[in-house]
């Protein structure tokens, strides 16, 4: 096994030696002699001395010349260091500029996407309103009598039109929220009335899927502060999810409770549940846990993202509890309405 070289200043000074040779202050053979001298001294166990010191001792250089040479070397090193720093600063500036440009492009793209979504969804709404109007007119037989088969075909068309309209409304709401334009019409909201409407709306879907739908409203519940239409939309979305992700025979419950002097809205189901590691994901727009190409449940994955945005715009927070196979509970608190606070549009 070869012996490891001892790291002492002597090992590092050959660069000083080379420098002295380059400067013509020392010959190559003098340098060699000095290094050998050092090795000998080391072999004899004498304390190590620096190369410069050795050169002076051997009379190859005088002290002032050595000091001048060392000073010159330090100056050269310092200027090389300054050059490297300048170069590094220039690189950092260039990289920062590149990153800023990439960020600018990304924000531009994201704005473009939001504008595109807002425009397209508005443009889709108008022709769809016409389609719906005429289909409803035909269904009511105002344009002439219909055969049973024609009626059935029109009913299917109408259901599809409704689905398309809901989707477009979601997209409009989402693009408004993405552009920071979600406005709330705050006022007193009767949660009892809201629960009734949301349950009525969800009932036919629950029946279709053979799911028991129930609701309970605490008798002490007062009016809450909120945007009636948006809260209705939120509760409908939560009921829609609960029904959609529960197997036939299961149940869905809407509860309006009072807890620590605030109202709490809860939608609970006995459905398929959500794995703990995927809970955060469900609030991301367009994220659906069943991502296969032959998706079973339909929808676009916007529901919960918008639910969260609307509830947060109310100054509240949505909580999600779920146990795979056992069911899911989504809930959020709402403040009671008081007269003394001025209501208006909230961004």
Ligand X SMILES: Nc1ncnc2c1ncn2[C@@H]1O[C@H](COP(=O)(O)OP(=O)(O)OP(=O)(O)O)[C@@H](O)[C@H]1O
Min separation Cβ 297 and ligand X, Å? 6
**Chain residue whose CB lies nearest Mg ion:** 303
Closer by beta carbon to ligand X, 38 or else 322: 322
Is 17 a residue that touches Mg ion (CB under 5 A)?
no
Is 303 a residue that touches Mg ion (CB under 5 A)?
yes
Question: Which of these segments, 99-107, 126-134, 190-198, 282-290, binds ligand X (CB under 6 A)?
Answer: 282-290
Pairing of strands 319-323, 251-259: unpaired
Closer by beta carbon to ligand X, 57 or else 323: 323
Closer by beta carbon to ligand X, 108 or else 247: 247
Residue 271 burial (C-beta neighbours within 10 Å; 0-12, 13-18, 19+)? buried
Lay out the site mask for ligand X across 287-316 (x = CB under 6 A, - = otherwise).
Answer: xxxx--------xxxxxxx-----------
The answer to whether the beta carbons of residues 316 and 334 sit under 8 Å apart is yes
Of 274, 310, 318, 334, the one binding ligand X (CB under 6 A) is 274
Q: Which neighbouring-strand residues pair with 273? A: none
Closer by beta carbon to Mg ion, 3 or else 286: 286
Q: Cα separation of 213 and 253, whole Å?
A: 6
Q: Cα separation of 156 and 104, whole Å?
A: 46
Binding-residue total with ligand X (CB under 6 A):
22
Q: What is the DSSP secondary-structure string of 143-178?
A: TS---HHHHHHHHHHHHHHHHHHHHHHHHHHHHHHH
Closer by beta carbon to Mg ion, 69 or else 206: 206
Of 30, 175, 236, 241, the one binding Mg ion (CB under 5 A) is 241
From residue 298, alpha-carbon distances to 167, 169, 245, 252, 291 in Å are 11, 16, 11, 19, 10
Min separation Cβ 142 and ligand X, Å? 33
Q: According to the 3-state scheme, what is the secondary structure of 24-85?
A: CCCCHHHHHHHHHHHHHHHHCCCCCCCHHHHHHHCCCCCHHHHHHHHHHHHHHHHHHHHHHH
Q: Cα separation of 330 and 318, whole Å?
A: 7
Min separation Cβ 257 and ligand X, Å? 19
Min separation Cβ 332 and Mg ion, Å? 16
To 10 degrees, the CA torsion angle through 141, 143, 145, 149?
-80
HSE-up (13 A, CA, CB side) for residue 235: 28
Of 66, 138, 242, 334, the one binding ligand X (CB under 6 A) is 242
Of 61, 66, 57, the closest CA to residue 38 belongs to 57
Closer by beta carbon to ligand X, 13 or else 305: 305
Is 282 a residue that touches ligand X (CB under 6 A)?
yes
Q: Helices H, strands E: what count in the chain?
A: 9, 9
Min separation Cβ 303 and Mg ion, Å? 3
Of 191, 328, 331, 337, the one binding ligand X (CB under 6 A) is 328
Is 16 a residue that touches ligand X (CB under 6 A)?
no
Is 251 a residue that touches ligand X (CB under 6 A)?
no
- Which chain residues interact with ligand X by CB under 6 A? 237, 241-242, 245, 269, 271-274, 282, 287-290, 299-305, 328
* Residues at the contact surface with Mg ion, assessed by CB under 5 A: 241, 303
């Amino acid at each position: 096994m070869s012996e490891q070289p001892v790291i002492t200043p002597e090992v590092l000074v050959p660069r000083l030696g080379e420098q002295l040779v380059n400067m013509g202050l020392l010959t190559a053979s003098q340098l060699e002699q000095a290094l050998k001298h050092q090795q000998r001294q080391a072999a004899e166990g004498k304390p190590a001395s620096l190369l410069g010191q050795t050169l002076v001792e051997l009379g190859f250089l005088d002290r002032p010349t050595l000091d001048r040479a060392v000073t010159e070397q330090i100056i050269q090193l310092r200027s090389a260091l300054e050059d490297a720093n300048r170069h590094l600063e220039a690189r950092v500036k260039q990289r920062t500029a590149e990153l800023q440009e990439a960020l600018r492009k990304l924000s531009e793209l994201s704005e473009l996407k939001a504008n595109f979504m807002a425009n397209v969804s508005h443009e889709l709404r108008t022709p769809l309103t016409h389609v719906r109007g005429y289909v409803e007119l035909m269904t009511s037989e105002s344009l002439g009598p219909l055969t049973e088969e024609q009626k059935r075909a029109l009913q299917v068309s109408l259901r599809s039109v409704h689905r398309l309209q809901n989707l477009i409304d979601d997209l409009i709401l989402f693009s408004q929220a993405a552009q920071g334009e979600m406005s709330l019409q705050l006022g007193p909201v009767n949660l009892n009335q809201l629960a009734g409407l949301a349950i009525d709306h969800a009932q036919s879907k629950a029946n279709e899927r053979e799911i028991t739908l129930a609701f309970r409203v605490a008798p002490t519940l007062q009016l809450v502060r909120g945007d009636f239409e948006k809260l209705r939309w939120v509760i409908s979305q939560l009921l829609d999810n609960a029904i959609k992700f529960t197997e036939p025979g299961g149940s869905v419950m809407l509860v309006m409770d009072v807890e620590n002097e605030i109202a709490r809205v809860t939608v609970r189901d006995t459905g398929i549940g959500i794995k703990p590691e995927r809970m955060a994901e469900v609030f991301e727009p367009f994220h659906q846990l069943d991502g296969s190409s032959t998706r079973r449940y339909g929808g676009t994955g916007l529901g919960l993202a918008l639910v969260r945005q609307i509830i947060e715009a109310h100054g509240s927070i949505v909580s999600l509890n779920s146990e795979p196979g056992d069911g899911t509970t989504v809930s959020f608190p709402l403040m009671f309405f008081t007269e003394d606070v001025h209501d208006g549009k909230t961004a």
